Amino acid sequence: VFIQHMLEYAGANYENAEYDEVADLKSCAIPDQPVPCMAPPILHDVPNDCTLSQMPAIVVYLAGELGLAAGDAYLNYQALKVILDCNDVLSDITNANGSRMWTHDHWQVFRSNRLPRWLEIFEETGRRHGLSASSGFLLGTESASHADIAVAALFGTMARCLPALEKDIQSNAPALYGLCHRIEQCEGIRAAIKRQEAETGSTYCGGQIEQSIRKMLALDEAPGQV
């Protein structure tokens, strides 16, 4: 979703690989891979004939190619830091990419402690660069950078697909919440969200770990009822 949001925001021409093709790339012998890697995402830049794996590396690469970089070198290091933070939040909420299911005790620590602290980290980053609920960008750039698109991909998707968490985001990070909404107004992203909703409904990350997250959210609402 990080990569797709960037491509959509920039109006780039792209195609998602078929599920089977991705599964084959992941499991085939390393020397047969276009880029030696453990897992997707993999980007194949067809015009430049190059491939790259690792989400944050792809995002930084595309920022350069699509004119979404922050401009100033130091801001680009900060943008990379923001993207790595986004990746960590995703890993947190999916319990290390679904490697184990949530228990309610652990989930409560995440929702009442780690998630608000993460939100405050992004909010404070924006605050230091003049971000408000109605205007500005995360790193104070004049137009959206890859850092803005990454946070919108993370928290915008979270708020839409797991609406119980929308109020957590809005109350802990109002400026961030406003930014996510503004980024999602971009035509390409709006169209992509509609397409995804038509195809998969409000699926978040899919699989057993999504079921586990939804079970925890239901427990938060009505303890003892699930």
Where along the sequence are the contacts to its own copies (CB under 8 A)? Answer: 30-31, 33, 35-38, 50, 52-54, 56-57, 60-61, 64, 73-74, 77-78, 80-81, 84-85, 88, 91, 96, 99-100, 114, 117-118, 120-122, 124-125, 127-128
Who contacts 201 (Cβ-Cβ below 8 Å, separation ≥6)?
A: none
Our CB check for its own copies shows the closer of 79 and 162 to be 79
- Least Cβ distance, residue 88 to its own copies (angstroms): 7
Q: How far is the CB of 147 from its own copies (least distance, A)?
A: 11
Q: Between residues 91 and 202, which has the closer beta carbon with respect to its own copies?
A: 91
Q: Between residues 129 and 215, which has the closer beta carbon with respect to its own copies? A: 129
Q: Residue 163 to residues 1, 37, 166, 218: CA-CA distances in angstroms?
A: 18, 34, 5, 12
Instruction: Pick between residue 7 and residue 189 the one whose CB is nearest to its own copies.
Output: 7
Q: Tokens 């990070």 map to which residue?
A: 173
Q: Which is nearer to its own copies, 92 or 187 (CB)?
A: 92
Provide, rounded to whole angstroms, the least separation between the CB of residue 61 and its own copies.
5
- Least distance in angstroms from the C-beta of 202 to its own copies: 27
Based on CB atoms, which residue is closest to its own copies, 147 or 189?
Answer: 147
